[in-house]
Amino acid sequence: MSDKFKFAFRVATSLTLAYMIPMALGWTQPSTAATTVMLIASTGSRRESMAKGTLRVLGTIAGGIIGLLLVGFFAQDRLLYMLAVSLVVVIVFYIRSAYLNDPTLFMLTGVMLLMMYNGGDAEGAFLYGIDRTFMTVFGVVVYTLVGVFLFPPKVEQNLRQLGDNLASAQKALFEAMSFPPQQEIKADQPKPELSEDDTTSSETETDQEQPTLADLSKSLFAAQQAFEARYQTLNSECSEVSAYKKEWDGTIALYGQITELLLFAAKDHSRSGGHPIEYLRDFDKLRTEVIQLFERLPDAWEKQAAHSPQPLDPVEYDGERLKQASHLYRGEAVSSGYLFNQLRERLAKLESCISSIDSLTGTVEFELPPLKAKPNFNWWDAENAKSSIKVFVTYWIAGAFWIQFNPPGGYNFVIFSTLFVSILSFLPFHPVMLLILFTLGFVFSVPAYVFLLPQLTLGAELALFIFAYTFVGFYVLKGPVTIFFLIGLFTLGIDNNMVYHFGITLTIVTLFYMTVLSVVISYYLPFSSRPEHLLLVFRERFFRHATGVIRLLQVDQLSLVQKLQLVWRITTMVVALKKMQVWGAKFNTNPYPSLTAEQLKRYIEQCDLFHHHLMTFIKARKKMDENPLLVEAKKGNKDTVIPALSQALWKVESETIDELNADHLKQDYQDLEARLDEYFSHIELDKYSNSDIAGFYIFLNLKKNIFESLLSCKQVSDDVVWEELSMKRF
């Protein structure tokens, strides 16, 4: 049973119970509980917990209370009521969009606010609101209990697997960057004879190109991101991880530090022309020791006793050789030794920390590094603000249509239009897909309404029908678009007292077709959600804020305003890249003859690599600002190449773009590096610590990685005909 099967089975079971239990007990509005299950399953995460369910219940009750208060204050004045509801709903749905964890908490609050109004009928509004709130809470409870007890995922096993994948990616990058240089075979030296098997294997190795350091860095970035994201999700749900939260936090932090150390040192060529094998004693032994530490990490999960880190011998240098070497060579040797020491120390601590998880014999005996808390909200997303405006406009257009023409479904048309626009705003799908899915659901439900439902006499038969319909929808489809297939189930009007009248079904179908039309209109107005338009917006936004980050990082002492600006730019840059990745993966390139999906994919991958290198540089910035070597070096050597290159990637109409060719850029950057080398050759290394010297080379390496990744972005961007995306088409 795959994860997709388990998820569809859980949702189908929940929705079936949400229908059948209220019907068996004679409760009214069973469809409200079923709708709640559908909304949570379509928009929430796939893992449930009691804590999450409790928060959803509280959100539902809060929304019900606020909704009833608004009804009580403004029930006699419809326009004032609609104005109050529209403003409160806009705020709630904006918070829902900005919330980075499970959004269904605030979604249910907004749903209850909309559902409290009994179509303008003030009489019985209070009891109507109480019934709706109760059935919504019932739907939340059913979905939570089924999700917790039916096919519960193995949380720690999932995290361990991601941790092992990350350790494997780290080991692969370390092996590649520390691999000794190949010994060239002299011309007069006979080549060794190879057997037939050796010949075949060597040909295979030749055909399969070894991954470059850039490729291995990409894999490491992806593995680190997946591990941290998964832990952040589970940690926020108060799951069983919380029993060893201190050890888990330390494990995540140590994994991150090891990744940063590897990325600090990852480079294709040495600046001094040397290799650590030349100036570190017993280099092969050191390299083997680090590889063995990586290989021991998977076994540490299985240990039942806390394992203390073993003492390690210090790294020794070839002192005689270094005395005769240049400043550049000596500095790089000190840097390599420092990084080897740090790697071994972090790996030994990581092994000890992992062994302490689930251990009954003790805890770690050293101070664990703190894990930086992730923010729960992103208040600076432009699309969230646009979505709120869309919700406000849709609510009033649908409300005006309801007041003027009283369409089928009455006030429900306003509720569903506002709700679905808020959920589906700025999602990478074409609105025609909604029409197709709803029509498909209608095609399934109408024959069932005519031929199947009247023949069902047992509750078990009806339960089997609801289960099968829901299971198919969530097994075949995914995400919020599943809602429009499941709507077909709600057009049947299933209840204890069924009144079979085709006119009623057509009325419900008309209501939802009008709702789909509202969503389609909101796709274009008041803000366009066309993929080609959004790709250009996200591309410009990503590099505009990346350029701002680069410029701010060159300021020696940031003011309070500049610090806030830096945080805002970093957050916006990261979000813009994520959206560019989502929309780029769904982008249809067929209407654009000069653009291929492969070109777009390569461009976004290069942007992602540049982003990771820049974020690595940002993480190291605090230590760099305290490094006396770097403070002096940056005073007379300002970098103008990287900011200009980054700016050229978002100022598409700039006249200077053509002047920024690869050869000129590389020459300018080499001139900057030459000035830094000249600066380094005049300092006395004995006055500075190994950490300061290593920091100087880490700085140069990180800057080089940023420059090369930006250059790759420009080269790939030049292959994409961006002008085609800005052309108007029907």
613-656 pLDDT, tens digit per residue, is 888 888 888 777 777 877 777 776 677 778 888 888 876 554 44
Q: What is the pLDDT of residue 194?
A: 44
Kindly state the average pLDDT of the residues 327-332.
70
Question: How far is Cα 441 from Cα 508, in angstroms, rounded to an integer?
Answer: 13
Question: Residue 99 forms beta bridges with which residues?
Answer: 377
Q: What is the pLDDT of residue 389?
A: 93
Mean pLDDT of the chain: 80
Question: How far is Cα 234 from Cα 159, in angstroms, rounded to an integer?
Answer: 9
Is residue 689 pLDDT above 80, yes or no?
no
Kindly state the average pLDDT of the residues 424-444.
82
The answer to whether the Cα torsion of 226, 230, 236, 242 is positive or negative is negative
Burial 662-690 (b: 16+ CB within 10 A, else e): eeebeebbeebeeebbebbeebebeebee
Kindly state the average pLDDT of the residues 103-115.
86
pLDDT tier at 198, thresholds 50, 70, 90: very low
Q: What is the pLDDT of residue 510?
A: 86
Is residue 186 pLDDT above 50, yes or no?
no
133-144 pLDDT, tens digit per residue, is 888 899 999 998
Kindly state the average pLDDT of the residues 468-474.
89
Q: What is the pLDDT of residue 155?
A: 57
Helix, strand or coil for residue 272? coil
Question: How far is Cα 55 from Cα 52, in angstroms, rounded to an integer?
Answer: 5
The least confident of 177-191, 343-357, 434-448 is: 177-191
pLDDT tier at 340, thresholds 50, 70, 90: confident
pLDDT tier at 460, thresholds 50, 70, 90: confident
Q: What is the pLDDT of residue 195?
A: 47
- CA-to-CA dists, residue 3 to 10, 112, 155, 642, angstroms: 11, 31, 13, 45
Q: What is the pLDDT of residue 284?
A: 85
488-523 pLDDT, tens digit per residue, is 887 787 877 777 777 777 888 888 889 888 988 998
216 and 267 Cβ atoms separated by less than 8 Å: no
The least confident of 16-20, 83-87, 643-647, 689-693 is: 689-693
Q: What is the pLDDT of residue 396?
A: 94
Is residue 129 pLDDT above 90, yes or no?
no
Token readout for 2 is: 């795959």
Residues contacting residue 542 through CB under 8 Å, at least 6 positions apart:
573, 576, 577, 580, 607, 611, 650
Q: What is the pLDDT of residue 199?
A: 47
Token readout for 724 is: 């085609």
- Nearest partner of 508 among 522, 484, 482, 487, judged by Cα: 487
Token readout for 259 is: 């990744």
321 and 263 Cβ atoms separated by less than 8 Å: no
Residue found under tokens 């590094």: 369
Kindly state the average pLDDT of the residues 30-51.
82
pLDDT tier at 270, thresholds 50, 70, 90: low
Kindly state the average pLDDT of the residues 561-572.
90
Helix, strand or coil for residue 68? helix
Cα end-to-end distance, the chain, whole Å:
45
CB atoms within 10 A of CB 434: 24
Q: What is the pLDDT of residue 730?
A: 46
Q: What is the pLDDT of residue 630?
A: 76
Kindly state the average pLDDT of the residues 669-698.
70
Helix, strand or coil for residue 362? coil
38 and 12 Cβ atoms separated by less than 8 Å: no
Is residue 272 pLDDT above 90, yes or no?
no
Kindly state the average pLDDT of the residues 125-131.
78
Highest mean pLDDT among 323-332, 451-460, 567-576: 567-576
Give yes or no for a cis peptide into 480 (omega within 30° of 0): no
Highest mean pLDDT among 129-143, 191-205, 478-492: 129-143
Question: How far is Cα 59 from Cα 95, in angstroms, rounded to an integer?
Answer: 13
Helix, strand or coil for residue 288? helix
Question: How far is Cα 242 from Cα 249, in angstroms, rounded to an integer?
Answer: 10
Inter-residue long-range contacts of 62-66, CB under 8 Å, 24+ positions, other chains counted: 62/109, 62/112, 63/92, 63/108, 63/109, 63/110, 63/111, 63/112, 63/113, 63/133, 64/112, 64/116, 64/129, 64/130, 64/132, 64/133, 64/136, 66/109, 66/112, 66/113
Look up the pTM and report it: 0.81
As a whole-number percent, the residues of the chain with pLDDT over 70 amount to 83
CA 690 to chain centre: 37
Amino acid, res. 518: S
The least confident of 119-123, 154-158, 454-458, 547-551 is: 119-123
- Nearest partner of 543 among 451, 667, 654, judged by Cα: 654
Question: Residue 377 forms beta bridges with which residues?
Answer: 99
Q: What is the pLDDT of residue 637?
A: 66
656-676 pLDDT, tens digit per residue, is 444 555 556 666 666 666 666
Q: What is the pLDDT of residue 418?
A: 92
Helix axes 155-177, 245-265, angle to 10 degrees: 20
- CA-to-CA dists, residue 650 to 98, 573, 597, 653, angstroms: 26, 12, 21, 9
Is residue 180 pLDDT above 60, yes or no?
yes
Kindly state the average pLDDT of the residues 320-335.
71
Check residue 426 and report its DSSP letter. T
The answer to whether the Cα torsion of 559, 561, 567, 569 is positive or negative is negative
327 against 647, higher pLDDT: 647
187 against 114, higher pLDDT: 114
Q: What is the pLDDT of residue 434?
A: 80
Question: How far is Cα 554 from Cα 531, in angstroms, rounded to an integer?
Answer: 35
The answer to whether the Cα torsion of 627, 633, 636, 638 is positive or negative is negative
The least confident of 74-83, 122-131, 507-516 is: 122-131
418 against 497, higher pLDDT: 418
